[in-house]
């Protein structure tokens, strides 16, 4: 079941199934190489995560997400991660946990100013380790389970937009701000400043909203991101229209300049 779940999630986020498409059990049994029982358990689990929608006796269809859905998921992640930061600050953490988090931040400091693709891949790993470390410091299995349900949704995880930042200068500026948030979070937790830690945790998550707005203006980047095929078409259409409009404006401006010459 776990193998079927992981593979099916990967296929959905990769765009192998369109939003609204019915998940045919017969096709999936052949594709995944599993029997119907683990497949049905995997489908039920993905419905629970929010990637699929139940149609009763007709099975499951791939869920479509609006920009508002993604924005809400990011907001909820911020609430949960802010709570995790507050728990960590109020409950205290072992010195070795702080040492591990500082080491991650020190490595990020060297990586975040570099623009090569390998550095961004390394940042993805470091960023996920930092967020996982804050969650462990909170010491709340209940909170971990709640957060797992949110970050499974498209564009909602802490590293959802990092690889887009590798090619978009606007997003790279946000990446530097995110690193400063990491340092602030760690400082607030170490000083047992629960309210400050919670506020920073929420603000940090909301950077993803800004990244979403940036990426929506670049459909060619958006469509290469996992889960892009699940984004409701109006958002993509508006993004494409905006890009075409800017291109036309640029062409008109160049034409006017040539005419003046």
Which residues are CB-neighbours of 97 under 8 A, at least 6 positions away?
Answer: 133, 136, 137
- Whether pLDDT at 251 is above 70: no
φ/ψ of residue 62, rounded to 5: -70, 135
- Same domain (yes/no): 74, 51: no
φ/ψ of residue 225, rounded to 5: -90, 145
pLDDT value at position 169?
Answer: 76
- Whether pLDDT at 253 is above 80: no
Is 49 part of any domain?
yes
Domain boundary residue, one of 39, 62, 85: 62
- Same domain (yes/no): 91, 201: yes
- Whether pLDDT at 256 is above 50: no
- Sign, CA dihedral 14-152-221-131, equals negative
Query: What is the Cα–Cα distance from 46 to 9, expressed in whole angstroms?
Result: 7
Give the pLDDT confidence of 178-213 residue by residue, as tens digits. Answer: 999 999 999 999 999 999 999 999 999 999 988 888
- Same domain (yes/no): 107, 10: no
- Same domain (yes/no): 50, 79: no
- Same domain (yes/no): 49, 166: no
Q: Which residue range is the domain that position 88 belongs to?
A: 67-222
Q: How many CA atoms lie within 13 A of 63 on its CB side?
A: 17
Query: What is the Cα–Cα distance from 99 to 179, expressed in whole angstroms?
Result: 17
Give the pLDDT confidence of 27-59 residue by residue, as tens digits. Answer: 999 989 999 999 999 999 999 888 999 988 888
With cut-offs at 50, 70 and 90, classify the pLDDT of residue 245.
Answer: low
- Whether pLDDT at 257 is above 80: no
When pLDDT is averaged across residues 165-179 and rounded to a whole number, the result is: 79
Three-state SS annotation for the chain:
CHHHHHHHHHHHHCCCCCCCCECCHHHHHHHHCCCHHHHHHHHHHHHHHCCEEECHHHCEEECCECHHHHHHHHHHHHHHHHHHHHHHHHHCCCHHHHHHHHHHHHHHHHHCCCCCHHHHHHHHHHHHHHHHHHHHHHCCHHHHHHHHHHHCCCCCCCCCCHHHHCCCHHHHHHHHHHHHHHHHHHHHHHCCCHHHHHHHHHHHHHHHHHHHHHHHCCHHHHCCCCCHHHECHHHHHHHHHHHHHHHHHHHHHHHHHHHHC
- Whether pLDDT at 261 is above 70: no
Cα diameter, the chain: 72
Provide the CATH number for the domain around residue 160. Answer: 1.20.120.530
Is 205 part of any domain?
yes
């Amino acid at each position: 079941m776990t193998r079927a779940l992981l593979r099916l999630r990967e296929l959905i986020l990769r765009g192998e199934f369109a939003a609204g498409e019915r998940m045919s059990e017969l096709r999936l049994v052949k594709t995944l190489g599993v029997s119907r029982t683990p497949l049905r358990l995997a489908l039920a689990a993905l419905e629970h995560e929010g990637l699929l929608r139940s149609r009763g006796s007709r099975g499951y269809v791939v869920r479509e997400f609006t920009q508002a859905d993604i924005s809400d998921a990011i907001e909820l992640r911020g609430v949960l991660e802010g709570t995790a930061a507050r728990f960590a600050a109020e409950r205290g953490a072992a010195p070795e946990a702080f040492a591990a988090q500082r080491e991650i931040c020190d490595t990020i400091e060297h990586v975040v100013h570099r623009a090569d693709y390998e550095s961004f891949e390394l940042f993805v790993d470091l960023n996920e380790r930092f967020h996982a470390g804050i969650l462990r410091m909170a010491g709340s299995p209940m909170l971990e389970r709640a957060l797992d349900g949110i970050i499974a949704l498209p564009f909602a995880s802490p590293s959802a937009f990092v690889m887009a930042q590798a090619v978009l200068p606007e997003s790279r500026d946000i990446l530097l701000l995110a690193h400063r948030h990491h340092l602030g979070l760690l400082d607030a937790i170490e000083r047992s400043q629960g309210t400050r830690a919670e506020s920073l945790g929420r603000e940090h998550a909301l950077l993803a909203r800004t990244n979403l707005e940036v990426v929506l203006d670049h459909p060619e980047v958006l469509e290469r991101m996992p889960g892009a095929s699940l984004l409701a078409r109006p958002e993509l259409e508006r993004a494409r229209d905006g890009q075409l409009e800017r291109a036309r404006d640029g062409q008109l401006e160049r034409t006017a300049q040539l005419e003046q010459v």
